[in-house]
Amino acid sequence: MKALQVISSAYRCTIEEQDDPAVWITHAMKGQGAELGVVLRGNAVCYSIEGQDASGISFGDWQQTNPPRLDRDIASLVDKGIDVYVIEEDARERGITSSAFMPGLKPITRAALAGLFAEYDQIWNW
């Protein structure tokens, strides 16, 4: 069984969770032997950019350490052998060209999505 994780909701609770829960569960299931691919669409295409820094939040005397590292979490998906696609049109609408993607990420057009979906048994829309 192969499942494609289509992730669009981005930066929703990343400070509190120290990650994106859809990306996190992809890592967790991969660790359990799952066969997975990922498509970043909508605002989640912004996860394709290296060098994001969400550190520094504090409330009163509480200094929050260990901020989310969304770029690292995406790059490590690639390191684990997971195909990570980024929808080019969604990136372009946000001023991001595919040349700015981190190494290993795969640009894909909206028109090519149907063909990609056909390669998977289930499509999970996060």
Partner 1 sequence: MSDKKALTFSIMDGPFEQARIVTVLRMIDIAAKRGYKISVFAYEGAVSLPFAKQAQHPNAVHGNDLAEENHPLAKDWIAALMKTARDNGGELDWINCGLCVDERGMGDAIDGVRRGTPGDLWSCASESDNTLIVGTR
Binding site for partner 1 (CB under 8 A): 1, 3, 9, 12-13, 17, 21-22, 25, 28-29, 31-34, 122, 124-126
User: Which of 7/101 has CB closer to partner 1?
Assistant: 7
Least separation in angstroms between residue 25's CB and partner 1 is: 5
| Secondary structure letter of residue 57 according to DSSP | -
| Secondary structure letter of residue 102 according to DSSP | P
Least separation in angstroms between residue 97's CB and partner 1 is: 27
Least separation in angstroms between residue 42's CB and partner 1 is: 10
User: Which of 55/122 has CB closer to partner 1?
Assistant: 122
10 Å CB burial of residue 101 (0-12, 13-18, 19+) is buried
> Rounded CA gap, 3 and 123, in Å?
6
> Rounded CA gap, 84 and 86, in Å?
7
User: Which of 22/49 has CB closer to partner 1?
Assistant: 22
Q: Which run of H or of E encompasses 88?
A: helix 88-93
Least separation in angstroms between residue 6's CB and partner 1 is: 9
